Amino acid sequence: MAKSLPVSPLASPLPALGVVPGVRLGAVAAGIRYQGRTDLVVAEFVEGTTVAGVFTQSKCPGAPVDWSRAALKGGSARALVVNAGNANVFTGRAGVETCRLTADAEAGLAGCAPQEVFLASTGVIGEVLSADLITKALPALHASLSETGWEDAARGIMTTDTFPKAAVRKVEIDGVSVTIQGIAKGSGMIAPDMATMLGFVATDAALPASVLQALLTKGVSGSFNAITVDSDTSTSDMVLLFATGYAGNRTISNADDPALAEFRNALNALLLDLALMVVRDGEGASKQIKITVNGAVSDASAREVAKAIANSPLVKTAVAGEDANWGRVVMAVGKSGEPADRDRLAVAIGGVTIARDGTVVEGYDEAPVVEHMKGREIDVSVDLGLDDGKATMWSCDLTHGYIDINGSYRS
């Protein structure tokens, strides 16, 4: 059984969470893996709720990912069932059967088709997930669902997370007030290859599934797809976006409709909030790292350079040790495989330019950089000097804590 972990020093407090009309949630202790804490979460949605989703690009996905991918084709959702502690991955036909039995049981309680039930699991890989533990817990959980169950849900989906993650925004669509609220979990096996963890967002806006999908797909590119903790992509990850339609705004059939500008910006900001909480809860993390790359031959190239820096164990351990070793950043740029010119490269840490045009800046004073490295939020900037491609990614440092957590994950 996993032992409790100290709360991350970068933990973000839960915001004041409200309700999303048309959504009821709850959590219960089903005894799936953990003792003395909730590990099964259900959300039920009003009839007519639309849904969008993005899923892990792992070639070894879990059975719940396959199930939810198939369910997404219908474009509608009535329920979501999430368990923590067991990922239901590499469990063969037993895993598929657990998904079927879970969806059937929840569908009976929610009064919908099993294909309108979305499933997600997170936890240990390769252990059979008992359907009985879930289906026996569902009736009581269904009876306890509440519009105010968001915090319980956020806590119920945690694994090695040290704090619950949630965010909320209130905006308008054509003068109609709408709410966007979401929760997420994730702290390890996090790499930007959508998706990178579990995230569930709901809104009372009235939006068709096609518009939701366009908004979510684009929104994750600068949030969940721009973070990395350890360069490992999970088998189980997904982000789902639900829209209940309760707000009653006019029908919008195009994601680029100007009426959605405020909503789009708010959704993107909320997704980034949740993604950064995942980074700030990186297993063993003590510092957040922001990597900005400019001057690349394209945005895609800048992204690969930023990813090489963000994933570098040498960069991450230098940050952990508060060592202003900018040579490791240069190393990571060079290994990225992307176009780069040593004699055009510029590197800055904490806003202080250290190297430019192939050498150290004349008169460089390391003192302010050393001071910056002592902080909780580290900024690394690279200018390749080639063109106008740019990208930003976020990561965290690599400490002994990461080894301690993952060396005993199953024990």
- Counted residue by residue, the chain has a size of 411
Q: Are residues 371 and 227 in the same domain?
A: no
Q: What is the pTM of this model?
A: 0.94
The span from the CA of 26 to the CA of 43, in Å, is 7
Q: What is the pLDDT of residues 186-222, one digit of tens each?
A: 877 666 565 558 999 999 999 999 999 999 999 999 9
pLDDT at 122 over 90: yes
pLDDT at 409 over 80: no
Known catalytic residues are 196
Q: What is the DSSP string of 237-275?
A: -EEEEEE--TT-PPP---TT-GGGHHHHHHHHHHHHHHH
Query: Residue 232: which of 265, 189, 180, 284 has the closest Cα?
Result: 189
H or E stretch at 367:
helix 367-373
Domain that holds residue 35: 23-280
Q: What is the DSSP string of 82-93?
A: EEEEE---S-HH
Q: Which of 280, 303, 331 is the last residue of a domain?
A: 280
Q: Are residues 144 and 265 in the same domain?
A: yes
Q: Which of 249, 280, 311 is the last residue of a domain?
A: 280
Binding site for substrate: residue ranges?
159, 185, 196, 283, 406, 411
Q: Are residues 275 and 331 in the same domain?
A: no
Q: So what's the pLDDT on residue 232?
A: 76
Q: So what's the pLDDT on residue 171?
A: 98
The tokens for 411 are: 């024990």
The tokens for 251 are: 């029908």
Q: So what's the pLDDT on residue 410?
A: 63
H or E stretch at 331:
helix 327-335
How many domains, in total, are found in the chain? 2
Q: So what's the pLDDT on residue 236?
A: 85
Report the amino acid identity of residue 307.
K
Q: Are residues 273 and 141 in the same domain?
A: yes
DSSP 8-state code for residue 386: S
Q: What is the pLDDT of residues 323-355, one digit of tens each?
A: 999 999 999 999 999 999 999 999 999 999 999
CATH code: domain of residue 130: 3.60.70.12
